[in-house]
Amino acid sequence: MSIITMPGIGGSDDAHWQSQWERETPAIRRFAPASWDEPDLDDWSAALDRAVADEPAILVAHSLSCLLAVRWAAANPARVAGLFLVAAPDPDGPRFPRVAAAFAEDLDARPPVPAVLVTSDDDPYCSEARAAEFAAMWGVPRISVGRQGHVNSASGLGAWPEGRRLLTAFSAGTANASPPRGS
């Protein structure tokens, strides 16, 4: 089973846990849209199509890419082994970038694959209440990692060992899961 990282707007810098996981484990690959700074839903979806080529993958999405991952999994359930969603932003929140408005459409579909939503209690892009709404709407468990901001390099997490343990446990569970609905 492959693992694909999906950074949010701006990509994940070298200090970000996604980048560190990629360096630590060369089998973890990053999807590559044309622009990290000017997100285009069609381009980011096509980049994910290219990244998930050979076998179903666990998508490790951060921030804006969480919204893409949920949407893409609903359309491509046989290509996704699971969704590890970290710090999903609130598209109705004041800090959500309007350039990414297309990513906010059709978010109410429940992922047809195993999924988990990892949240922070003080994420400036998504309140605890809104994160709980996402988890309920998507029918997925929500795991709070405490007060970790946007769970990014500014949070000072380094390689984020807690997140890696959560991903390892989640991955083990997806290996024993039933095939996705619609496959």
Cα 145 from Cα 125, distance rounded (Å): 15
Residue-level pLDDT at 183? 41
Q: Which pLDDT belongs to residue 182?
A: 43
Beta bridge partners of 60: 5, 84
User: Would you say residue 78 has pLDDT above 90?
Assistant: yes
Q: Are 7 and 36 in contact (CB under 8 A)?
A: yes
**pLDDT at residue 33 is higher than 70:** yes
Quick one: CA torsion of 22, 83, 86, 171, rounded to 10 degrees? -60
Count of CB atoms within 10 A of residue 34's CB? 11
DSSP string, 53-82: -SS-EEEEEETHHHHHHHHHHHH-GGGEEE
- pLDDT mean over 50-70: 96
Calculate the average pLDDT of the chain.
94
The whole-number pLDDT of residue 179 equals 46
- 103 with 66: CB under 8 angstroms? no
pLDDT in tens, 124-152: 999 999 999 999 999 999 999 999 999 99
Query: Which CATH superfamily does the domain covering 2-175 fall into?
Result: Alpha/Beta hydrolase fold, catalytic domain (3.40.50.1820)
Provide the pLDDT for residue 106: 85
Task: Give the residue-averaged pLDDT of 108-119.
Answer: 95
Model's pTM, two decimal places?
Answer: 0.94
Give the whole-angstrom CA distance, residue 43 versus residue 26.
Answer: 25
Q: Residue 117's closest CA among 90, 96, 89, 87? A: 87
